[in-house]
Amino acid sequence: MSCVRRQTKLSKSEELLHHASNQKMIQTNAKLLGMEGDPDLQFLLQGGDLLKVLSPSWKKTRFLKLQEDCKTIWRESKKTFKSNQTFPVDSIAAVRLGRQSEGLKKNTEEQVECRCFTIVFKGRRKNLDLIASSEEEAGSWVRGLQKLISSLNNLSADQGKLHSWIFSCLRKADKNKDSKLSQQEMKNFLQLLNIGLDDDYAEMLFKKCDKSGSGYLAGAEIEHFYDLLTHREEIDVIYGEYAKTTGFMNAGNLLEFLTKEQREKLTLADAQKIIEKYEPDEQAKGKSLLSKDGFLMYLHDPEAMVFNLDHKQVYQDMQQPLNHYFINSSHNTYLMEDQLKGPSSTEAYVRALLKGCRCVELDCWDGSDNEPVIYHGYTLTSKILFKDAIKAIKEYAFKKSDYPVILSLENHCSVEQQSVMAQHMSSILGSALVTTPLGDGMPTNFPSPEELKGKFLIKGKRLNKLEASFAEAAEEADNTDVTEEEESSNEADDKPAEKTSKKKKLKLAKDLSDMVIYCKSVHFNSFEDARKNQSFYEMSSFKEGKAVKLAEESAANAYIRHNVEKLSRIYPAGSRTDSSNYNPVPLWNAGCQIVALNFQTACTELDINQGRFLVNGMGGYVLKPAYMRDAATEFDPITLTRGDWLQHKTLHVMVISGQQLPKVNQKKSSIVDPLVKVQIYGVPADVAEKETSAVANNGFNPSWNENFQFDVYVPELALVRFLIEDHDSTSDNEFIGQYTLPFNSLKMGYRHVPLLNRNGDKLPSAGLFVHVMVLDAK
């Protein structure tokens, strides 16, 4: 077998047995994926040589193939001590055909366009740029991988998926490939599953399954062992309570469970449809009965999980003015890592946009050959061409969301290169770029996200007021020097090495200035000054410290009223050289719309941001509550005076169990000691955290059964975060997984919680099982 070329040579009979076992495994997994007989899957399983591209001169042949588990790609490396020769399919974010990546555009010629493709990984892992031997082969690789990714994503976390995962662990543990498990191999298997057992218990479990007394587990004995591992007592109890028809649930029993426990508003016909969809046993389905396996499969389906799927679609009013929404926004979008010496890349824009970001930042500086570049000024970060960034933004802006993208320009260019910027944006973005107000005459308010679908807005400096362009004799600005009304009192402090005066003259090109319509950058003096002198389209940016201070001032309500009329952008302090993030919640509480975070830095704050924008089709725009859109609002998140915002709820959460938690340390002997934290983010009165005890040495099926209660006063602004950590008594706990969602998107009853890794991507098999109840407080 090509994927184990360096293995010990097997005898002919062992080879035949091994081949038959592999074919059976392929057949089982292809069936689970719904890809039986698929020619593209067969192509991936056969594998082939590809040219890996790192530079114009570094192009080397690598053999890639899909392994028999249909979940792992094996890659042959020529490096003698190279140990990491595989990568899981679920680590792939996308597969792009053609010279779409920055690396392929830079390192290959146009004539190989049809043979190129890129494997884009989740998280910070670098892209894999490849060239196939023909256009047909490139197409087969791309189609096959895309189908496989889609099938794995659609495979619900049911018994079939669990069986596939456990089956692959069994094969890894079966070192001598004899389809039997010795007691030592069983212990290795348990460690792969993230279970640590003491020797006595492991021996007892082994003997319980070794019915034949042979000292090995084989066939039905392994199946019995599997049943013991996957048995979930909590599901037995819940199912047993409602399975009143000869040990099964009929449609009436299921409806009783759904209405009484899950607080679902469903009918008997809906319950019948659930049985038809999820019951795996044809005989039971024929009698309209739901078995325990079918019940568990339903509970694992996204429609039955903790997040209300009605909120996954666009369900909010998208006809409100743009400033009435929270907008998913990034800072230093071009960076892949830190802001002192990290690489800049067009891929960073692609990744941010595919995560739902609707406001991206471009730091623009003069480049050679009259071509503006983007990088973090006065630092060692690498540079990318402005035009390449605009091309990448154009291509990926509306793949995740149709709603408008704001291009936030931090302009340090000469007038000449500003004109080049304007030309590039005009030619690349074309009619999608908003260069005149929508409608006739001078606007008095922002257009809505709905009206701006598929459009780009420029945020930047402007030579004059927008009103001037509507005057009968619009006067040309007599001087193209304008005061640099920077984002904060001095935005230069975002660039630690830059020495500038508080005010300086900025030469501004008219053609670039004229592109700024709805987002003109102006300096903030005071709320009173803004109310008297600023037009609705004139917006200020605030460094995080200044913004938090304004949000906490005694007249805290003034910031909220300001944001009813104007847009506000918040950005991280320049002292965050590691590109860390601040807590966005207090700024959202103050009504700030564009709360920009470093998308390249995995952290709690980015988890919260992802949770905030999980709803409304993940379109990057979330409607602010009505009391934050009212010019006369009395809402103050700190003092919480009486008003419509006060909707006091009591949240009851029972943390029941966990499933297939990943290791945090890949050492074979390392097993996690998981604990769960339930955290509430929102107005200060709602902020809270409670945690379970730690379960020792069990990441496979830990059980807690611990109850928590929270008071939530302003549910419309609250977020709930489920965090799982590996307990450590001598140092900080280590992150295992988390899931954040808006309080009002919680579903009640017995619910599975999917878990995301540090990069915000789904952990394929891991989950948390909880019971949630939300009641009106007495």
Residue 401 pLDDT exceeds 50: yes
pLDDT in tens, 105-164: 889 999 999 999 999 988 778 889 999 999 999 999 999 999 998 888 776 444 444 455
The CATH number assigned to the domain with range 233-304 reads: 1.10.238.10
What's the pLDDT at 393?
A: 97
What is the CATH topology of the domain spanning 649-776?
Immunoglobulin-like (2.60.40)
Whether pTM > 0.75 for this model: the answer is yes
- The reply, when asked if residue 451 is annotated as ligand binding, is no
The answer, yes or no, to whether residue 61 has pLDDT greater than 80, is yes
Q: Is 79 assigned to a binding site? A: yes
Check whether 728 is labelled as a binding-site residue. Answer: yes
Q: Which one has a higher pLDDT value, 454 or 440? A: 454
Q: Which CATH class is domain 2-154?
A: mainly beta
Q: pLDDT confidence of 482, banded at 50, 70, 90?
A: very low
Of 85-99, 194-208, 288-302, least confident by mean pLDDT is 194-208
- Percentage of the chain exceeding pLDDT 90: 62
Measured between alpha carbons, how far is 47 from 132 in angstroms, rounded to an integer? Answer: 11
* Strand pairing report for 128-131 and 48-53: antiparallel
Q: What is the mean pLDDT of residues 604-618?
A: 97
Average pLDDT over every residue of 56-82:
81
Which of 6-20, 296-310, 690-704 is the least confident region? 6-20
Write phi, then psi, for 73 (nearest 5 degrees).
-100, 130
Q: Taking Cα atoms as reference points, which of 757, 755, 611 lies closest to residue 680?
A: 611
The domain spans of the chain are: 2-154, 159-230, 233-304, 322-466+479-541+615-621, 649-776
pLDDT for residue 261 is more than 70: yes
pLDDT band at 245 (very low <50, low <70, confident <90, very high): confident
Annotated binding residue 365 = no
Say whether pLDDT at 650 is over 50. Answer: yes
Question: What is the three-class DSSP state of 575?
Answer: coil
The listed range with the strongest mean pLDDT (82-91, 128-137, 218-227, 467-476) is: 128-137
Q: Which of the following CATH numbers is that of domain 159-230: 1.10.240.10, 3.40.50.300, 1.10.10.10, 1.10.238.10?
A: 1.10.238.10
Residue 193 has pLDDT above 70, yes or no: no
Q: What is the pLDDT of residues 406-415, one digit of tens each?
A: 999 999 999 9
In order, the DSSP letters of 179-223 are: SEEEHHHHHHHHHHTTB---HHHHHHHHHHH-TT-SSEEETHHHH
Q: Decide: helix, strand or coil at residue 725.
A: strand
Residue 250 token pair: 């009929």
527 or 218, higher pLDDT = 527
Please compute the mean of the pLDDT values over residues 554-566 and round it to a whole number.
Answer: 86
According to the annotation, is 588 in a ligand binding site? no
Question: Mean pLDDT throughout 257-277?
Answer: 96
The answer to whether residue 652 is catalytic is no
DSSP 760-772: SPEEEEEEEEEEE
Check whether 427 is labelled as a binding-site residue.
no
Taking the C-alpha atoms of residue 107 and residue 99, their distance in angstroms, rounded to an integer, is 10
Is 54 annotated for ligand binding? Answer: yes
Beta strands 86-88 and 72-75, pairing class: antiparallel
What is the chain's mean pLDDT, rounded?
A: 87
Q: Is 66 annotated as a binding residue?
A: yes
Grouping H, G, I as helix, E, B as strand and the rest as coil, residue 176 is coil
Q: Encode pLDDT of 13-54 as tens digits.
A: 555 555 666 777 788 778 777 888 899 999 999 999 999 999
Residue 168's pLDDT band (boundaries 50, 70, 90)?
low
Tokens of 307: 């997040």
Residue 291, marked binder: no
Whether 494 has a pLDDT exceeding 80, the answer reads no
Q: Is 58 annotated as a binding residue?
A: yes
Superfamily holding 322-466+479-541+615-621: Phosphatidylinositol (PI) phosphodiesterase (3.20.20.190)
Confidence of residue 170 (pLDDT cuts 50, 70, 90): low
Is the per-residue pLDDT at 307 higher than 60? yes
Measure the CA–CA gap between 56 and 519, rounded to whole angstroms.
Answer: 41
Place of tokens 């709320």: 527
Does the annotation flag 250 for ligand binding? no
pLDDT category, 504, cuts 50, 70, 90? low
Backbone angles phi, psi at 566, to 5 degrees: -120, 165
Contact by Cβ (8 Å): 501, 484: no
pLDDT grade, residue 503 (50/70/90)?
low
**Is 72 known as a binding-site position?**
yes
Lowest-pLDDT range, 179-183, 442-446, 521-525?
179-183
432-446: average pLDDT: 94
Torsion (CA) 57, 63, 69, 71 in degrees, nearest 10: 20
Cα–Cα distance for residue pair 451/737, rounded to 1 Å: 38
Q: Answer yes or no: same fold for 159-230 and 233-304.
A: yes
Question: Would you say residue 722 has pLDDT above 80?
Answer: yes
Single out the catalytic residue among 300, 311, 324, 331.
331
Determine whether 300 is an active site residue: no
What integer is the mean pLDDT of 169-178?
Answer: 67
Which ranges in 572-723 belong to alpha helices (H)? 585-589, 604-612
Catalytic one of 300, 311, 324, 376:
376
DSSP of 406-473: EEEEEE---HHHHHHHHHHHHHHHGGGB--S-SSSS--SSPPPTTTTTT-EEEEE--SS-GGGGGSTT
**Predicted confidence (pLDDT) at residue 533 exceeds the cutoff of 50:** yes
Distance in angstroms (rounded) separating the CA atoms of residues 504 and 506:
6
> 326 pairs with which residues across the strands?
622
In this prediction, residues 295-314 reach a mean pLDDT of: 93
- Stronger pLDDT, 513 or 729, i.e. the higher one: 513
What gap in Å lies between CA 585 and CA 591, rounded to an integer?
A: 10
Q: Which amino acid is at 354?
A: L
Between CA 233 and CA 425 the distance in angstroms is: 60
In this prediction, residues 731-737 reach a mean pLDDT of 93
Of 370, 372, 364, which Cα lies nearest the Cα of 333? 364
Cβ-count burial of 233 within 10 angstroms (0-12 exposed, 13-18 middle, 19+ buried)? exposed
Higher pLDDT, 487 or 664: 664
Residue with tokens 């004109």: 419
DSSP for 92-147, written as a single string: EEEEEESS-SHHHHHHS-GGGGGGEEEEEESTTPPPEEEE-SSHHHHHHHHHHHHH
Distances (CA, A) of 379 to 336, 337, 485: 14, 13, 23
Higher pLDDT, 396 or 188: 396
Q: What is the mean pLDDT of residues 543-568?
A: 89
**pLDDT of 3 higher than 50:** no
